[in-house]
Chain A
Amino acid sequence: QVQLVQSGAEVKKPGASVKVSCKASGYTFSNFGITWVRQAPGQGLEWMGWFSAYNGNTDYAQKIQGRVTMTTDISTSTAYMELTSLRSDDTAVYYCARCRGTRCNNFDYWGQGTLVTVST
């Protein structure tokens, strides 16, 4: 069965960086893209971007462009999301999800989420 297992919770200071991992199993990793979505406490879902397995391209939300890098390691079926220059409003649960379709048409399997807390 398809599973996405994310790394554990992180506490970071403002200005630091965080790198969240998302290990996939149960499917051919290189055939699907991975998207990242975050959710601030008590708030809705915010799409961050996605990594295309088809051409290796990335597409990031303008709001975090320049601070985010999404990568994958096909040898370990693991996706990574690194966010730099952290601010307090980056405190959120970060989810990875599998993209279905060449355009990431929908997100059919999700990781369990990783809480990132940015605090002094």
Chain B
Amino acid sequence: DIQMTQSPSSLSASVGDRVTITCRASQSISSYLNWYQQKPGEAPNLLIYAVSTLQSGVPSRFSGSGSGTDFTLTISSLQPEDFATYYCQQSYSSPFSFGQGTKLEI
């Protein structure tokens, strides 16, 4: 099974900050890497798929990059609504595992 490891597990930041979250796969997953945002009490929401493609309706301050085993999610200028937990997920091979999550806090 492919293990997904995110860092950091939690992150304190302020409105306007630039933030980067890292996700590492235990083996190469090509470009089969997605990012989800989850707010408390809500279902996850797809932000970015295939490493860098923004899901429809997602603000352009979100971006993704990487390939192989190392990937990043960047938020260029944090907005109040961005404080949430972020998960990476691989869809290269079953089981389609998630990272443990990164909680972004004020």
Contact = CB atoms under 8 A, between A and B. Distances in A.
A103 B91 contact: yes
A116 B36 CA distance: 23
Interface string B91-104: 10011111111000
Count class of interface residues, chain B? 20 to 34
A45 B95 contact: no
Interface stretch (B14-22, B42-50, B62-70, B73-81): B42-50
B43 A61 contact: no
B91 A104 contact: yes
B87 interface: yes
Given A103-B91, A104-B91, A105-B91, A113 B98 contact: no
A47 B98 contact: yes
Majority SS at the chain B contact face = loop
Contact of A95 (B44, B95, B96): B44
B28 interface: no
Interface string A73-93: 000000000000000000000
Interface residues of A, number: 24
B37 to A, nearest CB: 11
Contacts of B100: 44
A50 B38 CA distance: 21
Contact of B98 (A44, A59, A111): A44
Interface in A40-60: 44-47, 49-50, 59
Interface in A63-120: 95, 97, 100, 103-108, 110-113
B34 interface: yes
A62 interface: yes
Contact of A112 (B43, B87, B96): B43
Interface of A: 35, 37, 44-47, 49-50, 59, 61-62, 95, 97, 100, 103-108, 110-113
